[in-house]
Amino acid sequence: MGRLAAAVVLVAIAAAACAPSAGTKVRAALTTSTIRLEPEEVPSGMVTLSVENLTMIAHSVVVVRTDLSYDELRLDPNDPMRIEDAAVIRSTGVMVGNEKRELSVVLGPGKYVVICAQPAHYGYGMRAPLTVR
């Protein structure tokens, strides 16, 4: 390989290494009483939740950061967006039945929980842990 060709290859490798990552996709399937994440563990950086409401019920997906277990959060019954011992990171807003949305957020290493913030939905089981390495 000539010097020019070798230089072109090295420049291409360096450019690929420095290019911003597209991030990690996580599928979030919403049923009447669950949130299923796939995968449940991701590397830190840009994470895009591809949220699909598989029901005719309105849901509102919220990503929160907390050190608590995903099933130990204390939500205010009058305002499910107010969560003790957790920081709300981002929300999809209300999603109607069969709606799809993408929610992109940069996440650092830690424990997160993806919940439905519609009244009583968290208590019905609409929550899932998300670990960021």
* Mean model confidence pLDDT for the chain: 87
- HSE-up of 52 (CA within 13 Å, CB side)? 8
pLDDT (0 to 100) of residue 20: 46
Task: Give the DSSP letter of residue 87.
Answer: E
Q: What is the pTM of this model?
A: 0.82
Q: Report, as an integer, the average pLDDT of 30-34.
A: 96
Q: Report, as an integer, the average pLDDT of 100-107.
A: 97
Tokens of 77: 């019954």
Q: Considering the domain 21-132 in this protein, what is its CATH number?
A: 2.60.40.420
Give the contacts of 38 (CB within 8 A, at least 6 positions apart): 26, 27, 29
Q: Which residue has the higher pLDDT, 120 or 44?
A: 44
* Domain residue ranges of the chain, discontinuous segments joined by +: 21-132
Q: Report, as an integer, the average pLDDT of 102-107.
A: 97
